[in-house]
Structure 1
């Protein structure tokens, strides 16, 4: 319990020392800063753009009616609030309040005609650099050795076509990035189809060629690339497939690592 109390006391001490204040003075019965304070406030605003203003508290001396002095202290606080806002400081969450003559204790009453700003330096926000996202394809390609075969995930084409669906374009660019980042990598692009034992329109070859052409046209040396097709001769699941999932698994483009 004693340790908890000491820890709480330390936290309060650190908070208290972190909070600073600045005082603006006013002439008798006036709700605008006097000339010396107006100049000082303007200079202060220009050199404190990165602070957090927590409170703006207005005060008055004890001369005159207490209710009037309460209103006067509020107008003084509002005056400073507007000056800070005009100067570009963030006062959206600032507590702005008048205390009238409730704290009028100074021997020199001029010292009671004031507004006190409580502020602190904005906390330093450390933004942690996000870890690079390693996708399934990149992870498998980085771990692969010569002879490994990797299915290119989520690479879809229009039905009976070698045109890649728009949502699959990022997969091609990911493969392109892998090739650029690994200049010794050589691959063989292999096309496969589903659903029919005899291929009639060479669609698997056209799809493998489409991937080959994309990489070559985007700067990958053709000597690092080759392509071929296997139709339905190497299915993941035997034909005829029993489900749409099995058809999707058979309808694929694979990458074989030739050298890395």
Structure 2
């Protein structure tokens, strides 16, 4: 039940972190926002302290030449960026800047074309959990079991209810950029060592999930240990012992 609640909360959270925008307007031939826009900017800023600026676009009206207007749009961008910087907002190092002279669909109302549009994302708060805390406080050489990681029978397909743990692991790696790990897969029940290399495939499935979510592959390795490191002797006596042998762990390599 707790896992289902966590998934719902995470999905709701992700929806709230979509890209948003705010517009700043200028008087004719001016490169600093007008008084009305400054008041609106201050109100917007008070409500948006935890955001990251990812893109900014500058525009002009249709008066004067294309080249002059583009340079004016650039100056407008510079001044708005200076305001954002002084306000302490985070600006993405790969910020996209786009200045337009006349080459955009203009409004018939000229005042609406004299603007800068700021695109931003809300910064996701870190997910605090027992797993993320354990990883954060772990020492080099420590093994940590990933709780509630499940796969479909005899395959490397991850069961959807494992998603909260995967997100927690991803967050731990994002919050600790120096962290390097080995992902270790283990299976149960077989006396012969992992005939179909399922443990390798399962470790690789976790590895690929993290790569798809932009974790640098240089920070990770993966390895399958089959049944060579069981917690309980094989054959296991109970279903619980099978579950505990059938596991994925991470080894802390570097912090």
TM-score normalised over the length of structure 2: 0.49
Return the index of the structure with the highest Cα Rg: 1
TM-score normalised over the length of structure 1: 0.48
